[in-house]
Structure 1
Amino acid sequence: MTLIERNMDQTSLPLVVVPNCVPSLSEPLLRCIDRFDGKARVQLYAQPKDVTDPAELVARCTGADAVIVLGFHVTDAMFEALQPSVRCFAFGGTGIANYVNVPLAKQRGVRICNVRHYGDQSVAEHAVALMFELAKRTGRMDAQMHKSGWPGFDAIQLGGRTLGIAGFGGIGKATARIARGIGMNVMEWSRSSHAAEAEAMGVTESPSLAHLFETCDIVSLHMTLSAQSEGIIGADLINKLRPGAMLINTARSQLVDSPALLARLQKGDISAGLDVFDAEPLPDDSPLRGLANAVITPHNAWRTDAASEGIVQQCVDSVLAWLDGKAVNVVV
């Protein structure tokens, strides 16, 4: 671990702490750290891998006025331990409801900021990569080829198949554009209508979420997590998936009834590409690790060079705005 500090001799300035920063994020942060000159002291903890130990993270943030949160959850216990000092949390993600207790922050008058549309293309590409792995098994063949033998699998052509997109925001639209580019039919469902945009993209609107699950070969989730959407993909919808269907989730695990999905996967007649989980890191004894019909990645969809740059810039913008008495990307 390397501790990088700026302006620490100016003790009258507020303290901004970045307690967990991997190289892909520390490099763009260092490029813009001088923006805090004259406004705040900065402590940036850079290390090769994410630190997730709550006690260590709290210790690093003790005395901070603002915290830039990258790659970890702020539990209620952590939140309370950092009060009344920390008055602003800037999260490097969009859907923050499962990263911090938003009602608690609102009650305590603590500002919560997020980042927006920083990784639409990156997450969309990862969602499509999961589809390709399920359809082509390229990664599995590569792993076996590096060991020995001449493995081969019967693959699925994605062109001509129907992709259902649940949530037609920035990521959903980016996914649709990629899918249309490889010859897929695309159907979308959202709580609000996007008829004009969908038509312009050659995308069909689904009359209901149930219809999307019943009729599509692949369903990809791109909804934000909220009180209204938590658990929206229940056992009834999961069981509407036709045999051979794929479910892709690069959004939030809490959208889905995880036990119901596990039961359907264990039945063996569908497959899934998952980048998000109820518990992160995923426990070593998770039954998902033993399922050949599940492609699982460690919440990595957002981690590209372009997305990292966008995350850092927006987090810095949010904290600087808070220091200046202004508002950028404020959730609470």
Structure 2
Amino acid sequence: MRTVMVIHPEFDRSWPFAAVRFEQLFRQSGELEVIRLETGSASRVGDVVRHPETVTRLISLQVEITRECVLRFSALEEAVIESTYQSAEPPSEIIETLREQNIQWYTQPTEGFWGQSVAEFALALTLCGLRRIPQTHHEMISSLDPWNYDSPDGVGRPGSRGFQFGDDSRFANGTIEGKRVRIVGAGNVASRYASFVRMLGADVAAWDPYAAEPCFHRAGARKEWHLDSLVLDADIFAPMLPLTPQTREIVTADHIRSLPKGTLVVLATRAEICDMKELRRRVLADEISLAADVFDIEPLPLNDSLLGRHNVVHTPHNAGRTKEANYRYAENLYLQFRKL
């Protein structure tokens, strides 16, 4: 049994901890040969592995591979062939060759490898949006004003600013407990996020025309059958579907307009599933607040009107890329190999 892993630096650029985790896992169960290519290398898998005819397991991570390469691995039984960042599957010609040679090849079953990381980040965005944590952190650097909880004229009034109450009452604020959280999606990210906020005491409902019934049970969310209804009573609105031709702007301008005034919108997967023009309009008009890791323009220009606002929390699209997500990426593939 000979196992070889070939890694292009482009893979490390996307997943800096995944190949290392692969190596750890395979070395626990036997010998592993690791070949790392130089930056900019155009070498093919079949050209860099010595005696390919003796390899029984191959892990090729963003290294060029051809039909001729596969045929040189005449003893190959199992393989992972990650072609590009955009597509984890090998090219169709390679898949056909693998099938012809009765080689079992493995790929990611879902994008669940970053589900936990994104869901946790979305929970953090929610808490930051409700409590204005980033804004007050930044304000404290240059001013003592955040420490002053008096109302502007120093007179206490019901529902106004008071001792240690620094939330903005114009928007959803305070605890997640008791909030009506309305989620578009019930998949890898959305179901985890739903379970988190439900555990904290929120009333959770979700709409997802693509999810099977068990997804809603796993999430602990009430299934809403109509998106038009889901948006009507949201305190917190979290659109969490992947971006596909079918889901682009599935949350329409009418849906955004139907959100109650003061709603906190949480964007942690893909912004373009919403009508961003209308979402921007309502945020800039101080009608709703926003906590977002993803945007319609990335990176956001430094003069973008969403930046630095009192009702916006923003982060630079990094919700899914934790070390743990890298590990899960490798583990999901490793576990599919037959254990000898």
Give TM class, smaller chain: 0.5 to 0.7
Q: Which residue of 1 aligns with 2:132?
A: 137
Instruction: Give yes or no for the alignment of 1:43 onto 2:37.
Output: yes
Counterpart amino acid of 1:41?
A: I
- Superposition deviation, residue 91 in structure 1: 6.0
- Counterpart mapping for 1:40-189 below 5 A: 41-43=35-37, 60=40, 62-64=42-44, 67-68=61-62, 89-90=82-83, 99=86, 114=108, 116-151=111-146, 153-154=166-167, 156-157=173-174, 158-189=176-207
Q: Say whether residues 1:272 and 2:293 are aligned partners.
A: no
What is the 5 A alignment of 1:286-325? 286-314=304-332, 317=334
Match of 1:328 in 2: none
1:210 counterpart letter in structure 2: D
SS at match of 1:247: strand
The alpha-carbon distance between structure 1 residues 283 and 28, as it changes in their structure 2 partners (threshold 3 A), is: same
SS in 1 for 2:258: coil
How many residue pairs align between the two structures? 274
| Alignment partner of 1:30 out of 16, 20, 44 | 20
- TM superposition shift of 1:296: 1.2
On the 8 A contact 1:249/1:273 being kept in 2, the answer is yes
Deviates more, 1:251-260 or 1:161-170: 251-260
What amino acid is aligned across from residue 167 of structure 2 in structure 1? D
Q: Which runs of 5+ in 1 are unaligned?
A: 1-12, 46-59, 70-81, 93-98, 325-332
What is the Cα deviation at residue 285 of structure 1?
A: 3.4
Q: Is 294-303 or 274-283 further displaced after alignment? A: 274-283
Measured against aligned partners, the alpha-carbon deviations of 1:289-324 in whole angstroms (never above 9, x if no partner) come to 24332211111111333222112444x659x98xx9
CA displacement at 1:284 relative to structure 2:
2.8
- State the shift of 1:128 in Å: 1.2
Question: Would the alpha carbon gap of residues 244 and 64 (structure 1) be closer, same or farther in structure 2, given more than 3 Å must change?
Answer: farther
User: Unpaired runs of 5+ in structure 2?
Assistant: 46-59, 71-80, 97-104, 150-165
Deviation per residue, 1:229-276 (Å, 9 max, x gap):
122122121111111012111111221222222222222201111112
> Which of 9, 14, 30 lines up with 1:18 in the alignment?
9
Give 1:183 shift: 0.9
Tell me: CA distance 1:106–1:210, structure 2 relative to 1, closer, same or farther (3 Å).
farther
- Alignment partner, residue 160 of structure 2: none
> 3-state SS of the aligned residue for 1:280?
coil
* Aligned counterparts of 1:64 and 1:223: Cα–Cα separation in 2: 36
Quick one: structure 1 residues 90 and 135, their matched pair in 2 at CA, closer, same or farther if it must change by over 3 Å? farther
Q: TM-score, normalised by structure 1?
A: 0.67
- Aligned with residue 253 of structure 1, among 265, 271, 275: 271
**CA distance 1:290–1:150, shift in 2 (3 Å):** closer
Residue 214 of structure 1 is matched in structure 2 by: 232
Q: Is the contact between residue 25 and residue 312 of structure 1 (CA under 8 Å) also seen in structure 2?
A: no
User: How far apart, CA to CA, are the structure 2 residues paired with 1:44 and 1:248?
Assistant: 41
1:290 to 1:108, Cα distance in 2 relative to 1, 3 A: farther
Q: What's the C-alpha RMSD, in Å, of the aligned pairs?
A: 3.9
> Take 1:116 and 1:188, find their aligned partners in 2: how far apart are those partners?
20
- 8 Å CA contact 1:222–1:250 kept in 2: the answer is yes
Instruction: State the distance in 1 between where 2:305 and 2:36 align.
Output: 42
Displacement, 1:42? 2.4
Q: Contact 1:15–1:63 at 8 Å: present in 2 too?
A: no
Residue 268 and residue 169 in structure 1: after superposition, are their counterparts in 2 closer, same or farther (change >3 A)?
Answer: same
SS of equivalent to 2:10: strand
On the 8 A contact 1:134/1:273 being kept in 2, the answer is: yes
In the aligned structure 2, how far is the partner of 1:249 from the partner of 1:317?
Answer: 31
Structure exhibiting the larger radius of gyration computed from Cα positions: 2
- Of 261-270 and 196-205, deviating more is 196-205
- Tell me, yes or no, if the aligned pair for 1:212 and 1:219 is still in contact at 8 Å: no
Letter aligned with residue 42 of structure 2: T
Once the 2 structures are TM-superposed, how far is the Cα of residue 169 of structure 1 from its aligned partner?
1.2
Distance 2:35 2:218 in 1: 49
TM-score (norm 2): 0.66
Letter in 1 for 2:240: H
Q: Distance in 2 between matches of 1:20 and 1:199?
A: 36
Structure 1 counterpart SS, 2:307: helix
Amino acid at match of 2:19: L
When residues 129 and 61 of structure 1 are mapped into structure 2, their CA distance, relative to the original with a 3 A threshold, is: farther
The answer to whether the Cα contact below 8 Å between 1:21 and 1:44 also exists between their aligned partners in 2 is no
